[in-house]
Amino acid sequence: MTTADAAGSLRGRDLISAADLSAAEVRTIFARAAALKAEFRAERRHADPLLRGRTLAMLFQRPSLRTRVTFEAGMTQLGGHAIYLTEDVVMGAREAVRDVARNLERFVDAIMARTGPHQVVEELAAQATIPVINGLTLREHPCQALADLFTLHERFGDLRGVVLAFVGDGNNVYHSLALLGSTLGMEIRLAHPAEYGPNERIVARARELAGASGGRLVFTSEPADAVRGAAAIYTDAWTSMGQEAEAEERREAFRNYQVNAALAAEAPDALVMHCLPAHRGEEITSEVMDGPRSVIFEQSENRLHAQKALLVECLG
Ligand code: CP
Ligand code: NVA
């Protein structure tokens, strides 16, 4: 619906791309997330119902565990309400996307949407007068990147110069990590097979952001080269939602991109990250996923805290 205002306030803003947030805005979200997390962990409830009376419509064209439950639980915990809507109701199947937007803006305070095509979320945002949050498209997953970099911020504080090595597909999760990490001055590496690289326009945008922040983007085809010296090793599914027909050829192409004990040994101090859902024995072994360096379930928990913070900043 809107773009950044002069004051940098997130109130009323959309989150469609991880590049929509400035470093100062990310720091505001992280600070709010840390406070909400501390209170929720101590009390299992919030003294101040910051989203009382607020309603979020959640539109899903793809399945979800974390995104659905963390947004819905987050709204409830802050005194608001979330409504789960599936593909048979929305997103052009029954009526045009713009008509969905024009209805929902009269009923609820914000929309969170998980679509296949990125253009659907962009269209929702263009048409609706209320904030629209991207809950994953084939191009980006900005809420995931927020939670992931909040997880690293909890460990390392200032993320400038911190190295994250993504091993596998140059996909939606990589794109959002590259954009947000570049905004924060991180070094984001990607080890990928030649034919599964990232979107060049997103890389170009990330390079601009990195140029301004002192960040860096590195690309290689060698997983071991990517992870050496990294603070975190990150992987994701070889086949994302909507690419199921390519699963067999992708399994072949990514065979040497598994995060396993041998690869993790190349970076003995690195944390291990995954956005989930994981395919144990494919992109990551159970030994590494369940090992002492894994922060995978902290990332998952932090979806709740980071998104609550985002909702409060956008709607509160
Ligand atoms: N990581 C993530 O977005 O999980 P879901 O697909 O279960 O929402
Ligand atoms: N890249 C994965 C992320 C799932 C949260 C997908 O799009 O399916």
Atom of ligand 2 nearest to the CA of 64: 5
Domain annotation for the chain: domains and CATH numbers: 18-141+303-309 (3.40.50.1370), 144-299 (3.40.50.1370)
| Nearest CA owner, ligand 2 atom 7 | 240
Is 114 a catalytic site residue? yes
Which residues have CB under 6 Å of ligand 2? 136, 171-173, 236-237, 240-241, 275
pLDDT at 87: 75
Cβ of 62 less than 6 Å from ligand 1: no
Q: Say whether pLDDT at 6 is over 80.
A: no
Atom of ligand 2 nearest to the CA of 241: 8
Distances (CA, A) of 129 to 12, 34, 91, 275, 291: 9, 29, 17, 30, 46
Is 303 a catalytic site residue? yes
Tell me: the pLDDT tens digits for 74-91? 999 999 999 999 877 667
Is 305 a catalytic site residue? no
Tell me: the pLDDT tens digits for 234-280? 999 999 999 999 999 999 999 999 999 999 999 999 999 999 999 99
Is 141 a catalytic site residue? yes
Could you tell me if residue 97 is left (phi over 0), alpha (psi between -120 and 50 degrees) or otherwise beta?
Answer: alpha
Helix axis angle, 172-183 relative to 142-156, nearest 10°?
50
